[in-house]
Structure 1
Amino acid sequence: MITAKPNADITQNLNKSTRALRTKNALIGWSFVVIATIMICWFYFYPMVHALIMSFQSGTGTNLTFVGLDNYKRLFQDPTFIAAVKNTVIFLLVQVPVMILLALVFSVLLNDKTLKFKGFFRTAIFLPAVTSLVAYSVIFKYLFGLDGILNIMLMKTSLISEPIQWLTDPFWAKVAIIIAITWRWTGYNMIFYLSSLQNIDPSIYEAAKIDGASPIQQFFKITIPMLKPIILFTSITSTIGTLQLFDEVMNITGGGPGNSTITISQYIYNISFKYTPDFGYAATVSYAIVIMIVFFSIIQFKVAGDKK
């Protein structure tokens, strides 16, 4: 018993030191978590909640008063908002499927081990995704001008007899915006598919070749099913990005001609800064985007058959 007491004291001291060390490590860890949590709440959740509260207010500038659901009722009677929703949905339904398909095709072609200069082609297709939004929008504005390079090339090749009114015709203005968005974001989505393709076991394709499957059959029967989670992810992110479309429309067409290309995000900007400021109604329109994002995301999950 006499010799056991010092051992018990040593064990007790070790336990105290261990607990103190654990407490210290926990405090250090929680300090990082708490700081990050406060920053996220302050810069993300607080503006979201404040915008929701503001959507029930109306007034000029910051002189806002509560008006209940009047702003939400106003949405359905606002012709500019309805036009913005129609334009945004058209961009979404046309551009996103085309972009996803092109990204899939490019990723499959550039995943071919026998292809030379793969690095160059991958960089060239992805490069638009890292260019400045404003810079490339201004360049496209000049490309699609009445006397722009595109019209000059089409006329020299005798594909058209007179210049196309890319920026002043409602239909062609939408086409110009869709081309610009597709050019920028196809390479971005291609990188996701390309990285996923490189994780697929090549023996699957070899077995398919032995069974006599053509490249097209391999694409639809192997590649598409294997990339289903990534396709769903890129479809949702592309949908969110298109519903928030602003830079291209603002810099290429300015929303014209006659609001034929105006988007919801540009309308929010106009309400907040271009016209007489009505931040309450602008917040209401912004939450309309949130509702649309949730709606289209649910549809995509249902179409993809993802029960999770």
Structure 2
Amino acid sequence: MSNKLKNNAIGWSFVLFATIFIVIFYFLPMIQAFILSFKSGMGNNLEFVGIDNYTRLFKDPTFLAALKNTFIYLIVQVPIMIILALVLSVLLNDPKLKFKGFFRTAIFLPAVTSLVAYSIIFKYLFGLDGILNQFLMGISLISKPIPWLTDPLLAKITIIIAITWRWTGYNMIFYLSGLQNVDQSIYEAAKIDGANAFQVFTKITIPVLKPIILFTSITSTIGTLQIFDEIMNITKGGPGNSTVSISQYIYNLSFKYSPDFGYAAAVSFVIVILIVIFSSLQFKAAGDRN
């Protein structure tokens, strides 16, 4: 019994400080933010208002616009990125492909670039007098500059392109690591049996990568629901509120408009609820009860 207690004490000594820090810096702020979401006022002059902040959400046109935009980014960008990452991982896993290391590094490299730096680069690339418009006009494909950042639809497309460029390589690495653990004889046997590339992809590759696809889908969903840097640095939520996201609206409520931390906290918990809902749906769709 004393040995068991000693072992338990040693084990807890390893995790105790980490547990304390997690509680202090993660769980306590979450609880405080939740309590704050039921208050309203400026600075320290806060008063309890019950669920008024949450009922206000349904009447707030800016919040509804931010919610709509975030859903568009999620529904359009995440599937494109996941499929593109899967296809690239399969291509780069081909043992006959030359310079695989170069291509893998080149595609993964955007994932390690600064969020602010790459967002600013995209802003200049897609600007009215940016490199992209100059190139298209130079080859006589267009006669006048395309308003990538000032047209509501094109601004959304620009944001989606930027996110996809940034994170596709990140997800691709996970799929590559999974594919490299698959015996190549399985693919060779499928080809001998007459399976084409599409059948091999759908019947072997996707089932093998199912847990990794679920993981990357959930992490990508969480990241997209929290999208901030790209929008803040490329379009600043404009034109109008056509590209504003929930996270950017939280920032605006806290630091740009008249500070309303209680309402901002209520908006932030919408992201928490959405993450829980979408993660649960993805687990259910994958048929994984664990």
Q: What TM-score do the two structures reach when normalised by structure 1? A: 0.91
Q: Which position in structure 1 is the counterpart of 2:44?
A: 62
Match of 2:216 among 215, 234, 243: 234
Query: Could you list the runs of 5+ residues in structure 1 that have no partner in the other structure?
Result: 1-17
Is structure 2 residue 120 aligned with structure 1 residue 150?
no
Contact kept, 8 Å, 1:62 with 1:279, in 2: the verdict is: no
The answer on 1:295 being equivalent to 2:263 is no
State the SS of the aligned residue for 1:59: strand
Of the three residues 242, 248, 251, the one matched with 1:269 is: 251
Q: Aligned partners of 1:62, 1:130: CA distance in 2, in Å? A: 39
Equivalent residue, structure 1, for 2:21: 39
AA of the residue aligned to 2:21: M
- In the alignment, does 2:143 pair up with 1:179? no
In the other structure, the counterpart of 1:86 is 68
Q: Which residue of 2 aligns with 1:71?
A: 53
Counterpart CA distance in 1 for 2:32 and 2:70 is 25
SS of residue matched to 2:258: coil
Q: Does the alignment pair 1:162 with 2:160?
A: no
Quote the residue 2:265 is aligned against. 283
Distance 1:62 1:51 in 2: 14
Match of 1:203 in 2: 185
Tell me how many residue pairs correspond in the alignment. 290
Distance 1:71 1:234 in 2: 33
Match of 1:305 among 264, 282, 287: 287
Q: Distance in 1 between matches of 2:14 and 2:261?
A: 35
1:106-135, Cα deviation, whole Å (9 max, x unpaired):
100000111111000000000000000000
Shifted more, 51-60 versus 27-36: the winner is 27-36
Other structure's SS at 1:58 match? strand
Contact 1:244/1:264 (8 A) holds in 2:
yes
Deviations along 1:183-227, one digit per CA (max 9) or x if unpaired, are: 000000000000000011211111100101111111111111111
Give the equivalent residue in structure 2 for 1:140: 122
The alpha-carbon deviation at position 159 of structure 1 amounts to 2.7
8 Å CA contact 1:146–1:164 kept in 2: the answer is yes
**Residue 35 of structure 1: how far off its partner (Å):** 1.2
Query: In 2, Cα distance between the equivalents of 1:298 and 1:35?
Result: 31
Structure (1 or 2) with the larger CA radius of gyration:
1
1:196, 1:249 → 2: CA distance?
32
Work out whether residues 88 and 263 of structure 1, in 8 Å CA contact, stay in contact via their aligned partners in 2.
Answer: yes
Residue 194 of structure 2: aligned partner: 212
* Range 156-165 or range 51-60, more displaced: 156-165
Letter paired with 2:55: K
- 1:12 alignment partner in structure 2: none
Pick one of 79, 88, 93 that aligns with 1:111.
93
Residue 301 of structure 1 deviates from its aligned partner by 1.9
Distance in 1, Cα, partners of 2:137 & 2:202: 38
Which is worse superposed, 60-69 or 100-109? 60-69
CA–CA separation in structure 2 for the residues paired with 1:90 and 1:69: 28
Whether 2:9 is the aligned partner of 1:30: answer: no
Q: What code does the residue aligned with 2:284 have?
A: K
Partner Cα distance (1:230, 1:261) in 2? 30
| 1:31 CA displacement | 2.5
Q: CA deviation at 1:307?
A: 3.1
Paired position in structure 2 for 1:4: none
Alpha-carbon contact 1:81-1:267 (below 8 Å) kept:
yes
Question: What's the CA shift for 1:261?
Answer: 0.3
**1 CA distance for matches of 2:12 and 2:75?**
45
- The answer (yes or no) to whether the contact 1:100–1:235 under 8 Å persists in 2 is yes
Which 5+ residue runs of structure 2 have no aligned equivalent?
A: none
CA distance in 2 between counterparts of 1:22 and 1:297 reads 38
CA RMSD, 1 decimal? 1.4
Runs (4 or more) in structure 1 with deviation over 4 Å come to 21-26
Identity over aligned pairs, percent: 76
Could you tell me which residue of structure 1 aligns to residue 239 of structure 2? Answer: 257
Aligned-partner residue type, residue 33 of structure 2: A
Which of 189, 197, 200 is equivalent to 2:171?
Answer: 189
Give the conservation status (yes or no) of the 8 Å contact 1:232–1:304.
yes
